[in-house]
Structure 1
Amino acid sequence: MPRPTLITLKQSTSSGRWLQRQVNDPFVRARAGGEGKDGDTLYRSRASFKLVSMAKKYPSLLPKAGLVIDLGAAPGESDAFRGQLRVCGRAHHVLRSRSNLGGWSQVASPKVGSKGRVVALDLLPILPIARNVTVLQGDFLSPSVQAELEHVIATSAALRHKQGAILPDNPETEPSSGAAGSRVDTILSDMMANMSGIRVRDIEASLELCQTALSFARGRLKTGLTKRAEADGEEKRALSIKDYKGCMLIKFFQHPLLSEFKKKQLQPVFEKVLVEKPKESRSESSEAYFVCLGYKGE
């Protein structure tokens, strides 16, 4: 039997700490302990609980019958170690193939309902999630992948118009046939660049993803107010976070560069921009989310 080397000992220690963290994590326990359909866990990814929490606080993120784009749909939470986690006397495999993930789309699917659509994109393969979820694999930074995503968005919008699930924001200017100008309700960006360990480089990579997601969202998000807000009229009451169409949720790593991004690039194009670090995020992580509500249009 080969003797353990210093590298293998370090890997074993690291894996042991990771497994212990998983055992003690209440959200991992909740994910593994809840049985869904066909014996699957309640959620494929721990990251699902972040969106559950934020969607509860900001309902306009996942509107009924909405069209939602999920960028970075395969979070890499569970790909580090093969082991077992015991919950309620039952053993659950901690490591699930990353091709099984798609946690945010799994949350969004029932929220938008059968008349809504979710488009999930990631570099990694994702197993099918639900009938109303279209899965794409590719690099979002690639122009060809963005073109493919645009085509799927247009096709989904055309189908929903045909089914009478939604009406165009502006019937005179917005095509109902699924052309390139079709609007979406929400863009979720949980994208994360591969970490180099060099903080400046990692922050710049995070900022690039945020900027690319915003650039893609321009001209594609819906504008205006919800039907309830339009019926009430702006003069009758103060608008709330539930009243705005055209939303984004963007992961970022806290740094002054990202604060400048919020001030100079997000706030000019959205009615409200808030920062959230949901309790489901790991306390030691510097990640947070820009919650952008009410796209103003161009």
Structure 2
Amino acid sequence: MSFVATRPALSHKMPPSSVRWVTRQLKDPYVRERSAHPVKFRARSAFKLMEIDNQYTIFKHQDVHTVVDLGAAPGAWSQVVAYKLGWLQPASHDKKVKLPLSASISGFGVKEYIPERWIKDGPAAEDEFLDPLADLDEAEEVPQQRGRGAIIALDLIRMSPIPGVQSIQQNFLHEQAHAYLDALLKSTPGSNGMADIILSDMAANATGSRAHDVGSCLEIAESVFNFTKTHLRAAESIGRRRGGVLVMKYFAHPLMAQFSKELLEPNFHYVHINKPRSSRSESSECYWICMGWKGSAV
């Protein structure tokens, strides 16, 4: 007996919001590409970083050895980095992965993974009491090919192991998280405690209050920049004008534009604004692509 694949029937018992979500899932080309890609990315957000790298080639240089991924769960961006640095090598792949030509305007894809990262004053989550470095040994159990460099991922939520990735379970807005990152960077051979690329796909939970949400976005950006000041390798020490890269998500707002003008533009040789095609068109989400860290913040 043969079976013909069909789209799943949508139950009349499902709430309208769920029906809309499933319908948009089925129409989203990035959802299909995610499942078809040989790496089997954990989230469609992987294609945002793939598009950024296709345009700015931030990973191709052999002087890129240490990458820090902030707000990494569920691990799609860390997978991309591991793929680019040779830790993940599917049997067949192209140097540049072909991305879908366009995404449906109404495309939604896999639900965005936005845990309660930034609730600092409420009761601590049970997982906060777990050893934040517990996954370091666990990652060694994953069969892996030897790539180059080191990848350090941080998130409040525990991540499943990825070859070449060392994960820390901490809230980035807590000072203790910076201490763990600092210690791990210093223990990474050849890094001298510095990263060549810092990635941040962090976002605060939306509250419905525009002022509160913008304030949370700005708090994250400032915290990432403060970490960058002390942990990003300078272009001069790398010997490449575009060396020392920060990729950071933000949501468009005049205060964020002011943040870029006052802190990012004076301290990087190049600052670009990028909205990947795989980013939802209805979202104000954008990315700063900052290249050429000058080494001493002004």
TM exceeding 0.5: yes
Deviation track 1:211-249 (CA, whole Å, cap 9, x = no partner) reads 1000001031111259785xxxxxxxxxxxxx4111100
Q: Which runs of 5+ in 2 are unaligned?
A: 1-11, 87-146
Q: CA 1:217/1:279 → structure 2, altered by over 3 Å: closer, same or farther? A: same
**Which residue in 2 is equivalent to 1:72?**
71
Looking at structure 1, the residues matched to 60 and 287 of structure 2 have their Cα atoms a distance apart, in angstroms, of 16
1:47 counterpart residue number: 45
- What is the alpha-carbon distance in structure 2 between the residues aligned to residue 50 and residue 226 of structure 1? 29
- Which whole-Å CA distance do the structure 1 matches of 2:170 and 2:24 have between them? 31
Q: Report the CA distance between 1:290 and its aligned residue.
A: 0.5
* Aligned counterpart, 2:168: 136
Which fold has the larger relative contact order, with Cα–Cα distance below 8 Å and residues 6 or more apart in sequence?
Answer: 2
Identity between Structure 1 and Structure 2 (%): 38
Q: Deviations over 1:108-146 (max 9, x none)?
A: 01222312111011111110011x110111100011111
Q: Does 1:271 align with 2:255?
A: no
Q: Provide runs of 4+ in structure 1 moved above 6 Å.
A: none
Give the Cα–Cα distance (whole angstroms) in 2 for the partners of residues 207 and 228 of structure 1: 31
Q: Which runs of 5 or more structure 1 residues have no equivalent in the other structure?
A: 1-8, 37-41, 75-100, 162-175, 230-242
2:160 matched residue in structure 1: 127
Q: Give SS of 2:69's match.
A: strand
* Number of residue pairs aligned between Structure 1 and Structure 2: 224
Report deviation, 1:251.
Answer: 0.3
| Offset of residue 194 of structure 1 | 1.3
Following superposition, the deviation at residue 60 of structure 1 comes to 2.4
| Deviation of 1:50 (Å) | 0.3
Q: Give a deviation string over 1:17-45, Cα, whole Å, max 9, x none.
A: 11111111110111123354xxxxx2111
Q: Quick check: 1:209 aligned with 2:182?
A: no
Q: Would you say the 8 A contact 2:236–2:294 is kept in 1?
A: no
Q: Determine which structure has more spread, i.e. the larger CA radius of gyration.
A: 1
Answer whether contact 1:51 1:104 (CA < 8 A) is retained: yes
Q: Is the 8 A contact 1:191 1:209 kept in 2?
A: yes
For the residue of structure 2 that corresponds to 1:21, the secondary structure is helix
Q: By how many angstroms is 1:10 displaced? A: 10
Per residue, is there more helix in 1 or in 2? 1
2:289 paired residue among 288, 291, 295: 291
Normalized against structure 2, the TM-score is what?
0.71
User: What per-residue deviation string (whole Å, max 9, x for no partner) do you get for residues 64-103 of structure 1?
Assistant: 45200000111xxxxxxxxxxxxxxxxxxxxxxxxxx200
Q: 1:62-141, aligned counterparts within 5 Å?
A: 63-64=61-62, 65-74=64-73, 101-113=74-86, 114-130=147-163, 132-141=164-173
Q: Secondary structure at the match of 1:184?
A: coil
Please state how far the C-alpha of 1:63 moved relative to its aligned partner: 4.0
Out of 156, 179, 183, the residue aligned to residue 147 of structure 1 is 179
- The answer (yes or no) to whether the contact 2:264–2:290 under 8 Å persists in 1 is yes
The secondary structure found in structure 1 opposite 2:24 is helix
Using the alignment, how far apart are the partners of 1:228 and 1:295 within structure 2? 11
